[in-house]
Amino acid sequence: MKDAPAFMLLTQIALRARWSRAPGLDGLVFGESLVGDYGMIGLSEKAYRCAKGRLAKWGLASFAGSSKGTVARLLDNRVYALDARNDENSGDHEGGPFSEENLHDRAGVAADVGRTWGGRGATNKKERRKEGEESNTSRRPVKPEPAHARNPLFDALAEAAGIKPCELVGPPARACGVALASIRKATPDVTPEEIHRRAQNYASHFDAVLTPFALANQWAKCHAAKERGGRKLSTEFQKF
């Protein structure tokens, strides 16, 4: 999707959407989320209204007013998949498009695999030992990625947005990941130094909180303005 404001709004909807068909206390149903705080993703009121109109026109999302605010609903899976969690105990789950596969389905697959291999039986000690090691490995919790192995671009974006390393879990980590993907789409050879430089320029020019989404949105607009060519860039883009 080349429309940066629409992409940012659709991503916010997907990250907040309800990914369970079980009834919730907030009154939202599967695929719905509350939006309206467009400033959190670096959009102006006008850009937000235009992005809503385009998403509705393209059939990606619908919008309706409520006593709690604007309710947005994902309509199809062209950008983000509507993959509901079917297990009875699942509740609200933020970031559905980036979540693990349905645990209930995975358990069923694991049971089928276990029955298949259990029927064969181990023919010798070596094979039994190997099966035991594989079983133990599958039950081990996944360790967090060590700091030294993280993408330096990811760390630079998080640092520029004032996100502490201990906070890089759940929605903040996903927000950084989505914003970084947008930045790298506009500038494939981006460096950590350039991210810090543009973040400083953003902070000095705009009277707004710097978030990963806001920086990525401004980055995409600047890139689009430069690509058009033949036009003098505005002061906003020159400084950025």
Which of 74, 98, 80 is CA-nearest to residue 172? Answer: 98
**pLDDT score at 215:** 87
Which of 157, 229, 217 is CA-nearest to residue 240? Answer: 217
Q: What CATH number did the domain enclosing 23 receive?
A: 1.10.10
Structure tokens at 76: 């199809």
Residue at token pair 């619908």? 62
Most confident by average pLDDT, 3-12, 141-150, 224-233: 3-12
Average pLDDT (7-34) is 79
Structural domain contains residue 70? yes
Lowest mean pLDDT among 17-21, 133-137, 162-166: 133-137
Residues 81 and 107 in one domain: no
Question: How many alpha carbons lie under 13 Å from residue 40 in its C-beta half-sphere?
Answer: 10
pLDDT band at 162 (very low <50, low <70, confident <90, very high): confident
Residues 133 and 160 in one domain: no
pLDDT band at 197 (very low <50, low <70, confident <90, very high): very high
Give dist(CA 29, CA 72) in Å, integer.
Answer: 11
Does the pLDDT value for residue 193 go beyond 90? yes
Reported pTM: 0.41
Which of 121, 30, 132 is CA-nearest to residue 81? Answer: 30
Residues 91 and 126 in one domain: no
Structural domain contains residue 146? no
Structural domain contains residue 77? yes
Residues 109 and 171 in one domain: no
Give dist(CA 226, CA 194) in Å, integer.
Answer: 17
Which is more confident, 158 or 228? 158
Structural domain contains residue 131? yes
Residues 109 and 83 in one domain: no
Domain that holds residue 227: 151-239
Please tell me the total count of domains within the chain: 3
Residues 189 and 215 in one domain: yes
Sheet holding 32-35, edge to edge: 32-35, 69-74, 61-66
